[in-house]
Structure 1
Amino acid sequence: MPGSPQLVLTVDRSGRGDHRTIQDAIDAAPADTAGGSVVVIRIKPGEEKVVVGKPRISLVGTNAGSTVVTWNESSSVVAASAASPSSTVSVLASDFIAKRLTFQNTIGSSGPAVTVRVAGDRAAFYGCRFVSSQDTLLDDTGRHYYRGCYVEGATDLICGNGKALFDKCHLHSTSPVGGAGAFTAHRRSSESEDTGFSFVGCRLTGLGVATSILGRPRGPCSRVVFALSYMSSTVSPEGWDDDCSDPAKRRCRTAFYGQYQCYGEGSKTDGRVAWSRDLSQAEAAPFITKVWVGGQEWLR
């Protein structure tokens, strides 16, 4: 919260800081930050696997172009959702903030390679970059806010079952021509779950024409909205995965996929799957402000 007291720790692998690794700094932070105090960890780049298991931790870099936290491990998304063995960084506690950092998983295209798993409530990322090949950002559970961030990958760039607002972010697909890229893969299993991904004022780009869809339903009630966003020709005309071929799934009947006042070659709705939605202002309103993630109560 504004005005909260801070404990500042510095991570420098050369030994000129308070700690040599990010994990050492997190482990040294108080487990119970009384009075809403925040632990700010200023970090230098390096190769490290990090687990944030304490609340009110902030990771701050100097510049996302130069402050890179990297790892190189792959796993199935099912496993990642449970224990997150592949994540470069796992955020498991509430009230987390990251600023001006690049999170990277360099395992390549051999399988899912999560950069960050976000499984704590009230997490915010500002000016961060997430770079991998598959399942780049696992927005797993909780309410999350991303402002001015960059997400890169070949397929399922953003997956999970969180409730997230992406504000003025850039999504870049590295799926090749003839590939099967997807910008999102939201996992919502029932309409009673208050989850979904909302993208407002974002940019969607890629390596070629019609190489990626906006999303595919990893759960039967997947919910994704794009509003006021630029879509390049990399977005396929159908827009969404028409997962109706399997009678056991019929996910297109229960998924909520829509767009509102988007622009660019890839935003045209005349070729979209029949069940996607071209939202009215009233329909889009719940998705396009910080109220979507309750941000008026916790974003600082």
Structure 2
Amino acid sequence: MLEIAPAVYVGPDKMSFELCSFIGLQDTLSGTLGRHYFNSCYIEGVVDFIWGFGQSVYQNCTINATAHVLAPGLTGFIAAQGRTSAQDESGYVFSGDEWLGLDKGTITYAEIACTGPGSDVSNRVKWMKDPPDRELQPLVDIQQFINQDGWLNQTTTTFF
């Protein structure tokens, strides 16, 4: 029997990671509660490998979905965010990455200024949004989305 457990469990509020790698299969990175910031990290997994109920920003991160390596044609979903309503303040912001969602009512799926392989949006889901700047700004502005009280400005980067 194959046991699957999160490679990293991020539970507390106000956690930041920079230049870290997270590699697993399913549930690689679990951000259950609170605000989290990932900068220039590498995150790899097969299916639902970024999940939880947190409020997280993934800036300049490399997201590597490896489902196709296990079985050609296999589809692996990157994120499984537990947001339950449009009023829920939790969510994930990926700077330049794509993912697919199941509940269109609780997801805002938009790609803004993406480049590189896979950035052609012509074959994306039909419910993809093109929000005006006033709606997009609170999501892409780290200060408004996760750093309202300035906690991120006070973090120290520790390298192991």
Shorter chain as denominator, the TM-score bin is 0.7 to 0.9
TM score, norm. by length of structure 2: 0.82
Residue of structure 2 equivalent to 1:294: 147
Note the residue ranges of structure 1 that are not aligned, 5 or more in a row.
1-73, 75-109, 205-212, 218-250
Q: Deviations over 1:5-56 (max 9, x none)?
A: xxxxxxxxxxxxxxxxxxxxxxxxxxxxxxxxxxxxxxxxxxxxxxxxxxxx
The total of aligned residue pairs comes to 149
| Distance in 2 separating the partners of 1:258 and 1:168 | 17
Q: CA deviation at 1:183?
A: 1.5
Q: What do residues 172-201 of structure 1 show as CA deviations (whole Å, max 9, x unaligned)?
A: 11111211211211110122221110012x
Offset from partner CA, 1:204-237 (integer Å, 9 cap, x none): 5xxxxxxxx71334xxxxxxxxxxxxxxxxxxxx
User: How far, CA to CA, are the matches of 1:111 and 1:258 in structure 2?
Assistant: 34
**Corresponding residue number in structure 1 for 2:110:** 258
State whether structure 2 residue 82 is matched by structure 1 residue 187. Answer: yes
When normalised by structure 1's length, the TM-score is: 0.46
1:1-300 matched pairs, under 5 angstroms? 110=2, 112-176=4-68, 177-200=72-95, 202=96, 214-217=99-102, 251-291=103-143, 292-294=145-147, 297-299=150-152, 300=154
Q: Which amino acid aligns with 2:59?
A: D
Distance 1:140 1:215 in 2: 20
Following TM superposition, by how much is the alpha carbon of 1:151 offset from its aligned partner in structure 2, in angstroms?
Answer: 0.5
CA distance in 2, matches of 1:253, 1:194: 14
Cα RMSD after superposing both structures: 2.1
> Any gaps of 5 or more consecutive residues in structure 2?
155-160
More strand by share: 1
Larger Rg: 1
C-alpha distance 255-156 of structure 1, shift in aligned 2 (>3 A): same
Contact in 2 for aligned 1:163/1:195 (Cα 8 Å): yes
